[in-house]
């Protein structure tokens, strides 16, 4: 029987990679990461929970020389408890490390450091205070999310950004509780909310919020609102037919394009040679 890897065509564009990474979040990831780079902030990157690699592929484009990039996922490995095992079997049965790596290498020359393990291993595997950007998109169970948020706080360097996925979905109350608990009781400052993710920091959020407001106010494709809740200023953003940032085609697309161009060149060459060949004279009776 053919495997999923064998029957699924290789990705040509980022959108061909299965996963949940809306255009608004692509714009925000690009903005936060580029701002850090413009400010010459150096630090590592971390994604906890990668699924098929869509957001990990995008984030990997911002890895600079000397920076480490680590991803962590169970993939087809054993879950640490029955609840997590049931969650993985229900929602991620098609996920394998091989498929993630194939998708990632379609767009990049090298893999990030891959931890195939529960997210609880991350604090022992990633240096404290080393990360500038942490994306948490792993288990939806409260106990696991609580631990992932605590790990993010430990691993982020000053001014670092944490992104928490699925904080407002109706099927992920554990994420919602852990996220807002972190805001109310664990020192997390929300920067902004997208339709799917909360972006926050454990440092002063005002400078980055002011820069974000300036960026959003200059865009006609972004609905912007600002709210106050429990002493926190929260920016809410929503896409209005927003276009995704430019992202290179995969190696597969580039190779197919090169083969098509080569084939077209051969056909043109053959046609030119036929036109240049002298015609045969008519046979005399």
Please tell me the total number of residues recorded for the chain in this structure: 285
Please check whether residue 275 lies inside any domain of the structure. Answer: no
Is 264 within a domain? no
Domain-located, residue 272? no
Q: Determine the pLDDT at residue 5.
A: 47
DSSP collapsed to 3 states, the chain: CCCHHHHCCCCCCHHHCCCCCCHHHHHHHHHHHHHHHHCCCCCEEEEECCCCCHHHHHHHCCCCCCCCEEEEECCCCCCCCHHHHHHHHHHCCCCCHHHHHHHHHCCCCCCCEEEECCHHHHHHHCCCCCEEEEEECCCCCHHHHHHHHHHHHHHEEEEEEEEEECCCCCCCHHHHHHHHHHHHHCCCEEEEECCCEEEEECCCCHHHHHHHHHHHHCCCCEEEEEEEECCEEEEEEEECCCCCCCCCCCHHHHHHHHHHHHHHHHHHHHHHHHHHCCCCCCCCC
Which residue stretches of the chain have pLDDT < 70? Answer: 1-7, 77, 79-93, 257-273, 276-285
Q: Determine contact, residues 60/23, Cβ cutoff 8 Å.
A: no
CATH code of residue 202:
3.40.50.150
For residue 95, the model assigns a pLDDT of 83
Parallel, antiparallel, or unpaired for β 189-193 and 113-116?
unpaired
> In sequence order, which residues have a C-beta less than 8 Å from that of residue 18 and are 6 or more positions away?
51, 52, 54
pTM to 2 decimals? 0.86
| Rg from Cα positions in the chain | 24
Domain-embedded: residue 38:
yes
Phi and psi dihedrals of 177, rounded to 5?
Answer: -65, -45
| 98 belongs to a structural domain | yes
C-alpha span between 217 and 223 (Å, rounded): 9
| Residue 26 structural domain | 4-245
Could you tell me if 251 and 270 are in contact, meaning their C-beta atoms sit under 8 angstroms apart? no
Model pLDDT for residues 59-81, shown as the tens digit of each residue: 999 999 999 999 999 998 676 66
> Is 132 a domain residue?
yes
CA distance linking residue 54 with residue 93, whole number of Å: 17
C-alpha count within 13 angstroms, C-beta hemisphere, residue 46: 35
pLDDT score for 251? 94
Burial of 282 (0-12, 13-18, 19+ CB in 10 A): exposed
Number of domains in the chain: 1
Q: Is residue 253 part of a domain?
A: no
**pLDDT digits over 108-144, tens only?**
999 999 999 999 999 999 999 999 999 999 999 999 9
User: Closest Cα partner for 74 from 137, 22, 24?
Assistant: 137
282 part of a folded domain? no
In the prediction, which pLDDT does 104 show? 98
């Amino acid at each position: 029987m053919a495997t999923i890897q064998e029957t699924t065509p290789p990705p040509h564009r980022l959108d061909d990679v299965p996963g949940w990474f809306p255009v608004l979040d692509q714009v925000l990831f690009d903005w936060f990461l580029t701002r850090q780079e413009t400010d010459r902030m150096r630090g590592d990157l971390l994604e906890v929970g990668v699924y098929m690699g869509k957001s990990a592929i995008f984030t990997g484009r911002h890895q600079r020389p000397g920076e480490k990039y680590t991803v962590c996922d169970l993939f087809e490995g054993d879950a640490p408890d029955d609840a997590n095992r049931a969650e993985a079997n229900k929602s991620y049965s098609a996920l394998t490390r091989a498929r993630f790596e194939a998708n990632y290498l379609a767009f990049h020359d090298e893999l990030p450091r891959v931890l195939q393990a529960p997210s609880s291993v991350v604090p022992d595997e990633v240096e404290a205070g080393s990360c500038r950007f942490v994306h948490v998109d792993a288990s939806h169970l409260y106990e696991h999310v609580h631990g992932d948020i605590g790990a993010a706080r430990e691993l982020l360097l000053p001014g670092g950004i944490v992104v928490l996925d699925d904080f407002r979905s109706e099927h992920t109350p554990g994420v919602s509780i852990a996220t807002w608990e972190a805001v109310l009781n664990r020192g997390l400052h929300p920067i902004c909310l997208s339709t799917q993710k909360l972006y926050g920091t454990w440092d002063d959020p005002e400078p980055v919020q002011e820069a974000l407001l300036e960026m959003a106010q200059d865009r006609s494709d972004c609905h912007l609102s600002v709210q106050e809740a429990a002493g926190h200023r929260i920016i809410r953003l929503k896409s209005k037919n927003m276009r995704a940032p430019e992202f290179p085609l995969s190696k597969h697309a580039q190779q197919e394009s090169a083969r098509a161009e080569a084939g077209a060149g051969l056909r043109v060459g053959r046609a030119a040679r036929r036109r240049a060949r002298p015609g045969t004279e008519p046979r005399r009776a």
